[in-house]
């Protein structure tokens, strides 16, 4: 039973980590290198993430600077950024690419807040799915005679406690990210 609970908790932690990474990739008006994590460049026939082929820095709050280790890749990086959903036009000076992030409009902030809530809800759905799977496994163990009725009840309580804890964590993360966007 403890092994099942441990597996469920590991899955819940992974769900939280995935949501955190998803939140980091949201453009919130500030320059954040994590925004480039999903963008890949065709580098000698292989799709390579920008952060593996260039140094990415934040010289100012609203500017990202990308300095490729191989200057010949500047054009490919620029094309990849233009083709991405980032919605920002890169400035190429021949050595580095600068991305200037404009301040968010009120309408865009509300849209982002809605997206964040939606992601939070999807995270909660994933947690509940993990809980359901764990409960089913515990019931199967009882059916096979590996658990007593009391053990099953204890396992279900523990699984619910875990789920409640992680749902609360998602609520806190969602609220924090929403607040960050609305305050910019």
**Sequence ranges of the chain with CATH classification 3.30.1360.40:** 33-100
**CATH architecture, range 33-100:** 2-Layer Sandwich (3.30)
- CATH 1.10.3720.10 applies to domain 2-24+105-183: no
51 vs 11: which has the higher pLDDT: 11
Please give the pLDDT value at position 29.
63
Alpha helices in the chain (DSSP H): 2-24, 74-83, 106-143, 149-183
Q: At what angle do helices 106-143 and 149-183 cross, to 10 degrees?
A: 170
Does residue 161 register a pLDDT over 80? Answer: yes
Q: Which long-range contacts (CB under 8 A, 24 or more apart) does 65-71 make?
A: 65/96, 65/97, 65/98, 65/99, 66/36, 66/90, 66/96, 66/97, 66/98, 66/99, 67/95, 67/96, 67/97, 68/97, 71/95
Half-sphere exposure of 181 (CA within 13 A, CB side): 25
Please give the pLDDT value at position 27.
64
pLDDT in tens, 74-95: 888 998 888 887 778 888 888 8
Q: State percent of the chain over pLDDT 90.
A: 34
- What is the band of 67 on the pLDDT scale with cuts at 50, 70, 90? very high
């Amino acid at each position: 039973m403890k092994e099942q609970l441990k597996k469920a908790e590991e899955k819940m932690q992974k769900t939280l980590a995935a949501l955190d990474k998803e939140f980091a990739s949201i453009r919130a008006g500030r320059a954040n290198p994590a925004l480039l994590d999903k963008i890949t460049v065709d580098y000698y026939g292989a799709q390579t993430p920008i952060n593996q082929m260039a140094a990415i820095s934040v010289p100012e709050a609203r500017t990202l600077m990308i300095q490729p280790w191989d200057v010949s890749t500047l054009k490919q990086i620029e094309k990849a950024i233009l083709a991405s959903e980032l919605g920002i036009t890169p400035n190429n000076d021949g050595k580095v690419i600068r991305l200037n992030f404009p301040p968010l409009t009120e309408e865009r902030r509300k849209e982002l807040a809605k997206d964040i809530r939606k992601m939070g809800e999807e995270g909660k759905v994933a947690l509940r799915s993990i809980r359901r799977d764990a409960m089913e496994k515990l019931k199967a163990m009882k059916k096979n005679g590996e658990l007593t009725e009391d053990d099953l009840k204890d396992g279900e309580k523990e699984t619910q406690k875990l789920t409640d804890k992680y749902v609360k964590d998602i609520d806190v993360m969602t609220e924090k990210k929403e607040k960050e966007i609305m305050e910019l």
